[in-house]
Amino acid sequence: MSATPERPPRNPYRRVTQRSLDDDLIRGDEILDIPPRQSLVGDLLHQDSLAAIYGAPGAGKSLLALDIGLSVATRQPWQGREVIDGPVLYIAAEDPPGIAQRARAWRSRHGELGRSAWLKRAVHLLDPYAVTELCDLVARVAPALVVVDTLARCMSGADENSVKDMGAVVEALDRIRMVLGSCVLAVHHSGKDSARGMRGHTSLLAGLDTVIACTRTHTGITAVVDKQKNAADGQRLHFSLEPEGDSVVIVESVKGTDSAPAWRPTWYMEQVSKFLEGVDEANVNTIRKAKLGKSERVDEALTCLIAEGFVSISRVGNASQHRSLKPFRQSAEDAS
């Protein structure tokens, strides 16, 4: 006769509903008493939220996440934005030596690493017991910010395109968030077509409060807020890379200082502008299929048009639509 299997230990961090629905029912103006999420880093990241920074390999997403994390850990303003004071837990799931190299450069420039804690291995987010162990660690470290770098390493073997697997990952990130109301920031990859956003099932995008896209330019890094759940998205940040020790650090650039001719393709901007003037709205794929030139140049032109106020971008479901606001012409770049 086989032995009865041992009952698994109770997970103290799983969601358990102990209150009746009536306990959480509010009426009328009482909804106005629910406070908004508090800022973690300026208007970019908030406490008690889920966020992601994503981009292609070499786009600077880990550099950006590390810079944000160490600014919080040392309570130094992040690129001129106020931060709250709190420990940071950085899960260095991918390339711990590379992260250590960047951290040395950051300390050389800024003086200290503050209240940072580093986990130098991945935590499998589809393993409930591994997530419970991580939640226990979060309870002990009490971080204001938890960085998961990278998400792919923490879901190794899972199907990123599966709604079931990606849904389980979002649930795991949410469990980590709920321990103390931390901000959980995942570093993730873009798909083969970077214009389509993050790699994997769209349930990840749906479950996040803030999404930041990173791209590499000749002059450094550009970060665009793709999604800000309870505020306007579309904020653009430009960073230069400055050598420090055996690595680099990022420094925010003044708007417009990185507008070298190679990275402001005015001819393409005019072609894209003319195309959008002839349609009500169009997504990225439609614009690319209009045969306006090389897709990478068309993408750069569209990015410039949005940044400079010639084209608007709006989200319909999980898709982005573009609309002409005013014409752009090379001969009259200040057209109104």
Residue written as tokens 């970077």? 194
Phi-psi region of 181 (alpha: psi -120 to 50; beta: other; left: phi over 0): left
Residue 103 has a pLDDT of 96
Range 50-78 average pLDDT: 94
**Are the C-beta atoms of 213 and 197 separated by less than 8 Å?**
yes
> If you write DSSP's letter for every residue of 226-282 in order, what string do you get?
EEETTS----EEEEEEEEETTEEEEEEPPTTTT--GGG--HHHHHHHHHHHHTSS-B
Residue 7 has a pLDDT of 43
Query: pLDDT tens digits for 1-54?
Result: 444 444 444 444 444 446 788 888 999 999 999 888 899 999 999 999 999 999
Exposure on the CB side of residue 328, measured as CA atoms within 13 A: 25
Of 22, 53, 39, 121, nearest in space to 86 by CA: 39
Among the residues of 91-223, which ranges form H helices?
96-110, 128-141, 163-180, 203-207
Residue written as tokens 């077509």? 193
Global pTM?
A: 0.71
**In which band, very low, low, confident or very high, does the pLDDT at 257 lie, cut at 50, 70 and 90?**
very low
Range 204-210 average pLDDT: 94
- For residue 212, pLDDT over 60 is answered with yes
Q: Which domains does the chain have, with CATH numbers?
A: 39-252 (3.40.50.300), 264-324 (1.10.10.10)
Considering Cα of 106, then 153, then 39, then 229, what sign does the dihedral take?
A: positive
- For residue 277, pLDDT over 80 is answered with yes
Query: pLDDT tens digits for 93-103?
Result: 998 999 999 99
Query: pLDDT tens digits for 116-132?
Result: 999 999 999 999 999 99
Q: What does the alpha-carbon distance between residue 62 and residue 189 come to, in Å, rounded to a whole number?
A: 11
Share of the chain above pLDDT 70, in %: 87
Range 191-205 average pLDDT: 83
> If you write DSSP's letter for every residue of 111-129 in order, what string do you get?
S---SEEEE-S---TT-HH
Q: What does the alpha-carbon distance between residue 122 and residue 156 come to, in Å, rounded to a whole number?
A: 9
Largest CA distance in the chain: 87
Q: What average pLDDT is seen over the chain?
A: 86
Higher pLDDT, 191 or 91: 91
- For residue 106, pLDDT over 80 is answered with yes
- For residue 333, pLDDT over 90 is answered with no
